[in-house]
Amino acid sequence: MKPLIVLVSVFGLSMLFSYTFHQREDLYFSGRLALCVMLLFTSIAHFVFIKGMVLMVPPFIPNAIKKLIVIITGLIEIAGAAGIMLYETRITAGYLLVIFLIAMLPANVYATQRRVNMEQGDFSGPGMYYLIFRIPMQLFLIVWTYYFAIAHPYPF
């Protein structure tokens, strides 16, 4: 829920700012900026809540590399955030982020099944009903990424 709030809030503020100071809305820049800030926000969890993030990694991944995977996925989010803001890398970064978001959905389902509470680093999470929100949100993020980073890669 927090990433969605960040995404929508930054988008709204960016649209308001661009209209106020440039007398026009910059829909595509605002969409990319919102996604960038959201990705930076979510990447922080990979380093601050690493214990909880490790609990989200499925059991077929060896325990010895789970922490490394969490760190790498956090770095991927940071790279994706930067990539969608640069004109030269925007489309490639967008496609890679779509693949990343699709690939992360099973980890989110697994974590929900286990009731992982990422912030607490334990198994006191909300449980399966969270998927009613999480799956549509993940699909929304995929569509948002496609629309703003791939379908409309304008220079600004």
Classified as helix, coil or strand, 57 is coil
Evaluate if residue 110 carries a pLDDT over 80: yes
* Mean local confidence (pLDDT), 4-26: 91
In a domain, 113, yes or no: yes
Q: Could you tell me which residues come within 8 angstroms of residue 86 by beta carbon, excluding any fewer than 6 positions away?
A: 93
Q: pLDDT tier at 50 (50, 70, 90 boundaries)?
A: very high
Residue ranges making up the domain that contains 124: 2-151
Residue 102, domain member (yes or no)? yes
pLDDT exceeds cutoff 90 at 1: no
Q: 45 lies in a domain?
A: yes
Residue 156 lies in a domain: no
**By percentage, how much of the chain surpasses pLDDT 70?**
97
Q: How many domains is the chain partitioned into structurally? A: 1
Residue 38 domain flag: yes
Select the more confidently predicted residue: 26 or 71.
71
Residue 23 and residue 8 in contact, taking contact as beta carbons nearer than 8 Å: no
Q: Is residue 70 a contact partner of residue 57, using CB atoms and an 8 Å limit?
A: yes
- Is the residue at 63 inside a domain? yes
Q: Whole-prediction pTM value?
A: 0.92
Does 60 reside within a domain?
A: yes
Whether 122 maps to a domain, the answer reads: yes
Q: What is the mean pLDDT of the chain?
A: 94
pLDDT tier, 19 (very low <50, low <70, confident <90, very high otherwise): confident
Residue 97's Cβ-count burial label (10 Å; 0-12, 13-18, 19+) is buried
Mean pLDDT, range 119-133, rounded to an integer? 94
